[in-house]
Structure 1
Amino acid sequence: LNSCRSTPCQNGGTCANNGANAYTCSCVTGYTGTNCQTDANECRRSAPCKNGATCAATGVSTYKCTCTSGYTGTNCDQDINECQSTPCQNGGSCTDNVNNYACSCATGYTGTNCQINLNSCRSSPCKYNSTCINNGANSFICNCAAGYTGITCEQNLNSCRSNPCSNGATCNNNGVNNYTCSCVPGYTRNNCETEINECSSNPCLNNATCNDMINHYNCSCTTGWTGKTCDTDHNRCRITPCQNSGTCINVGANQYRCNCGSGFNGTNCENDINECSSSPCQNSATCADAINGYNCQCVAGYTGTHCEQDIDECLSMPCQNDGECVNQINKYSCNCIAGFTGTDCQTNINECISSPCQNGGTCQDLINGYNCTCVPGYAGNEC
């Protein structure tokens, strides 16, 4: 009935009885399985890390190896080849060792990496046909040829000797390793090696293609354009030269004709025709020029398109009482019939105002006359 009696749990595991023939094992750290029979520490179980490496368990059946110097790989089982970087110089042979290498030097060389040249002249360090004198390991003296100086005779006393200036430029020697180049037109930079791109300033206009030449350029113009920079329009009508609604007609390269609208003339229809120049307005009227026309501003007393009509001030019949109207310039006069007066003959002349009736007679004013009514005892036209 007590299934733990037989101590089924191994490696220090704790048994918990669950009834007849039933139990569970609580395993200590590093073990697993129904009876804690499996070692979960791979480092302890299989010792996977080689060549003196340190093993560290990272989980159940997992681990990490820390390799000693000279080894690599998951289990540190691979010897690092220190010869892989080719450390041995000047033809030396490399032998791989653990965390090290050894160089077997070719004749004339020594040092850990065969870097020391026992014959320093072997590499021909002296330039320009100069003579090398060996002065021991990594030491030499150069006897320079005429015109050169420096430790390896690398400095040219005549800097122009190597013809450094390109493209026909003139070399000016300024001393050891110092010169200036005078470039021919169209080239630039220190040695005149760069051709100046005259197209870089985009000189060709109106979508033309620029072709770079030596010290100049050439423009391939698009249709309708000409000139060195394609700035001349074959079709001059493109720039709408005709003013004041004139119609432009292209008549050839760089030529055009304007058909002007009414009231304008000139090469570009720029002139407003002065219709007043013919003095169309009469009777001292003022002429005001308009587009394709004119307006006459008449002086008082005249009317009509050209102020040619004298305004008849008598049309309104201003003269009263049968007065005769005489038309004048901007006015009229009235010739009154007998008995009337005033600008418009509107006033009846009072003939009684002179008191023509005598001896107490009464005066009655008439048209162009008067009538006397006499007191008794008197008679006659004026009593």
Structure 2
Amino acid sequence: GAACVRDGLTSYRCNCTSGFGGEFCNETLPKCSDANIRCRNSECVETGDPSIPVYCRCYDGTRRDPRLNDTCPFSPCYERETDTPVCKNNGTCRIVNNAHVCDCTGGFAGQNCTKTLKRPLCEDVPGVCGVGICQQSLTPPYYSCNCGNYPSTFGKIITDLTKCEESGCHAQNPCQNGGTCSNKGKGAFLCQCPSRYTGVKCEKQSACFNNPCLNGGVCEAFNDTAYFCTCPAHFTGARCDLVIPDPCQSKNCGPYGECRDIHGTAVCQCSDGFHHNNEPCENPCLGKNCGPGVCTEKKNSTYEAVCACPVHRKGDSCELPNDKCREAPRCGGGYCKPNYASARGYSCVCEGGIVKVEPCPFSKSCPIKDCGTKGVCVETDGIIVPPSNRPIYYVCSCKEGYISSGSCDDVLGAQMATAQGRCGPTGKPYPSRNPNNPFGCWCNNGTHIPEIDADGPAQYCV
């Protein structure tokens, strides 16, 4: 059955039919079914080529000649001893990480497709996995969905039979230039773009791509043309290109202060103990005259300067004498004497010249021997009597119409009425020991006026 064909002018060759070879087609070519042809751990392939009629196709893609006993390396897809496929019942073998994986069909499952599946089969429920791939399982519901490249189940097998939904965030991320894809369901997606890119897929350079903001400004892009610059301190303008003048540049806070820019206003922050009134920080006692006193700082909001006066002086600048005895301190049965060595500023001189800090005791007997027939000796709180300005604690209390000039023998008459008018409605006149001003006033508020000037103002008691 071979055909002879001319090969040049004087030569011929034979075209052999399938299964034969040799120069004259008289040789039978080897077949995979021949007993002496064995492809261990591989698949036997017949080529029909007389030069290589059969070969063993190894799992790693190489070829071996079975006539030379050239065997393939061991394949996980074949039984080592019998050279039969490990995937039974027409299962297709795949090698994953040097191990076999069987893709079973026809109602079979298991590692080697040897177990019969229960219904339903994937072919019984077409489209159950949507855009995913249905895979058989040995446990109810006997199949699962491989969602492949789709969103939250990317590369995983789900078993809750949730239908795989198509998503824009597939394995080939639609977001360009480092954008992050978020699945919005039913094929929709949203790209979160880096600051330098914009567009639905981050495919456009944003207005901030080349950072138009100067002097350290931070650019925020709205699209590929509009942007906004957030400027650092001391800069302003659409591109932070304008310098804001420093308000402290012309502010003199002196050597004891530091200028601070508070919302565009220069404010002097002074060191402790110094103050300012929109002027350089200075010592508040500078220029304060306290006389014999000492200037100190009253630490309020303005660091006010105040004078600490010695005990014998008073006033804002210690300019006034501080005679404690003029304040009529109660020395009891003695009289007051200034004593600036004492913290109180006075001492009490008692009967017999005894000096005490506390008030003197009263004498048990009235020292005034004669108040006349119209008066009696009474004790007082200490009436200051000029010219000595020492208090007296006993006076003659005379009957109405009489005055005491050591006794109560002088008739007053109209003079007493005049004194009543000068003491006012809340005062009551009483006789004094001064013949020139013979009346004093007792007032309802507990005070008294030792002498009334006859030519002075009325209404002494208020």
TM-score by length of 2: 0.23
Q: Which is greater in Rg?
A: 1
TM-score by length of 1: 0.26
